[in-house]
A = this chain, B = another copy of it.
Amino acid sequence: MKIKVAIAGYGNLGKGVECAIAQNDDMELFGIFTRRSPDSVKPVFESSKVYHIDNVLDYKDDIDVLIICGGSATDLPVQTPELAKSFNVIDSFDTHAKIPEHFANVDASAKQSGKIAMISVGWDPGMFSLNRLYADAILPDGKDYTFWGKGVSQGHSDAVRRIEGVLDARQYTIPKEDALSKVRNGSNPELSTREKHLRECFVVASDDADKEKIENEIKTMPNYFADYDTVVHFISAQEMQRDHSGIPHGGFVIRSGKTGADGENTHFIEYSLKLDSNPEFTASVLVCYARAAYRMNKEGISGCKTVFDVAPSYLSVKSGDELRAHWL
């Protein structure tokens, strides 16, 4: 019997989940739940059913795991605790500072319902967090570095779009090669914000816009750009469409650490991602954690969990015997 997975929220992430479920033979899509009128939503696959989110409780007993694909700012803080009262749920909550609060709210709901709610699943938080934890546990006398990119930052792109005269914008976060090299050489550098990442903006301006003023406004924008070296390119709407319609991302987690009687040996652990589509990769992580949530809940485990709490074997479709024989 296949694991019945449903999607709540149907943007880029929800579409990615729809595609990822189709790649996993032990799962099937129960349906997509949306706040929009279901008739107005065109799923990736014709066979995918679309329901209104208001009716989700009608399918309480038909859905094994619900993957919540809303935003971290306003959707997930409300939706995840609410839906965990009735479903095993997964979300990709990524406001790092508010994770403890979100955890507490979701844990209370999930403990009461006896369901599992996995939060902050994706690549950062998610796979990057896991790699920081593993590397820190192995090499306690060390230092870790996270670099993001090259990739599109949605928040920074939005900030540029809000500037007067800007019609469209795309912002790439780019790790600086020089900083990466220093870390990989084991010099354990202290790196400022400016030294770690470059911000590159592609901007479509209106015909009558003052480009110099726009560029200055971007470069001096507090929190978003002021602490970085920022490069601004003005391009046409056609160039934006042709060259910047993808949503790539990625990054590096590197830890260097010392061992030996006197710290005489140095080791490097590096984990990196290079992603054509940030939402589709995040969706793929969500889907394998949905498998884990289903299995762990079957074993009687409930409450809020993160990637730190999930033994890797729960993620794989393969049996323990098969994993030990061929994957260890």
Contacts and interface: CB of A to CB of B under 8 A. Distances in A.
Interface of A: 16, 19-20, 23-24, 44-45, 96, 99-100, 103, 120, 125, 127, 129-134, 136-141, 250, 259-261, 265-277, 280-281, 283-285, 288, 291, 306-313, 315-317, 320-321, 323-325, 327-328
B312 A134 contact: yes
Given A271-B271, A308-B328, 9 more contacts: A120-B328, A133-B313, A137-B315, A137-B317, A138-B285, A259-B280, A259-B281, A269-B273, A310-B312
Contacts of A129: 327-328
B277 A16 contact: no
A141 B268 CA distance: 29
B265 A315 contact: no
Contacts of A312: 130, 133-134, 137, 307-310
Given A20-B259, A100-B325, A133-B316, A265 B277 contact: yes
9 contacts: A23-B141, A100-B325, A127-B269, A136-B327, A140-B317, A259-B277, A259-B281, A267-B275, A309-B320
Contacts of A316: 133, 136-137, 308
Contacts of A317: 137, 140
B284 A276 contact: no
Contacts of A96: 328
A250 B141 CA distance: 19
Contacts of A291: 137
A315 B19 contact: no
Given A260-B19, A328-B308, A315 B269 contact: no
Nearest to A139: B284
A204 to B, nearest CB: 24
A308 B292 CA distance: 13
A126 B219 CA distance: 46
A327 B261 contact: no
A291 B134 CA distance: 13
Contacts of A307: 312, 328
Nearest to A24: B140
Nearest to A266: B276
A81 to B, nearest CB: 16
Nearest to A292: B137
Nearest to A262: B19
A15 to B, nearest CB: 8
